Chains A and B, each alone.
Chain A
Amino acid sequence: NAGVTQTPKFRVLKTGQSMTLLCAQDMNHEYMYWYRQDPGMGLRLIHYSVGEGTTAKGEVPDGYNVSRLKKQNFLLGLESAAPSQTSVYFCASSYRYRVTYEQYFGPGTRLTVT
């Protein structure tokens, strides 16, 4: 089991460029999440999905879009990158039911927007 994987690990963008971050999980989890982590801010939820074909906004959704076409994949898109989106992005996944609300995290993508 690879768990949760993220690609790429690092990326540098220029303001206005677009990119897609890919998250994949092999644990058959229903729920998937995208967070950003900034110094002193903890983990802030961007978007999440409770199942294939569904997405919902989190705490800081502006400037991001997501898609969940397959259960195992969750994509995070930046259409027009801004310096304020420089951050470390983490994907996580979890089962739906009380079996666990425990989220399992990927290793992160470090994004710099210049």
Chain B
Amino acid sequence: GQQLNQSPQSMFIQEGEDVSMNCTSSSIFNTWLWYKQEPGEGPVLLIALYKAGELTSNGRLTAQFGITRKDSFLNISASIPSDVGIYFCAGQLMNRDDKIIFGKGTRLHILP
């Protein structure tokens, strides 16, 4: 089936550092979504992207829809302890408007 390759799988960073993660695929997507999941909770939508090349920010978070439509990137600037969690990318495939597929997540750890 279709797959999203999300990397890195986990990250250990110092508080205050910037974070970058990405998702890639061999398939073309119409929509990219980024979610955050905290322990014991369901995923929460952070950013939605609908156009190739689109760059969208949500506070310290910035995400981009890759020009090739096959990838997306999420950056977090000046990380803080509450950024800890699992970040998932998700994509809606071209010609499939009924569901999205998820990457396996990037687990972010922040060292004091």
Contact = CB atoms under 8 A, between A and B. Distances in A.
B22 interface: no
Interface residues of A, number: 27
A45 B42 contact: no
A100 B32 CA distance: 11
A54 to B, nearest CB: 10
Contact of A103 (B45, B97, B105): B45
B45 A104 contact: yes
A13 to B, nearest CB: 20
Given A42-B88, A100-B48, A101-B31, A90 B98 contact: no
A74 interface: no
A71 to B, nearest CB: 16
B88 A43 contact: yes
A102 B102 contact: no
Interface residues of B, number: 25
Contacts of A31: 98-99
Given A102-B48, A106-B42, A107-B42, A33 B99 contact: yes
A56 B98 contact: yes
Contact of B41 (A59, A92, A98, A108): A108
Interface string A32-56: 0100000011111100101000001
Given A101-B31, A105-B42, A105-B43, A42 B48 contact: no
B100 interface: yes
Interface in B57-112: 88, 90, 92, 97-105
B45 A50 contact: no
B44 interface: yes
Nearest to B50: A98
A63 to B, nearest CB: 18
B100 A103 contact: yes
Interface of A: 4, 31, 33, 40-45, 48, 50, 56, 58-59, 90, 92, 96, 98, 100-108
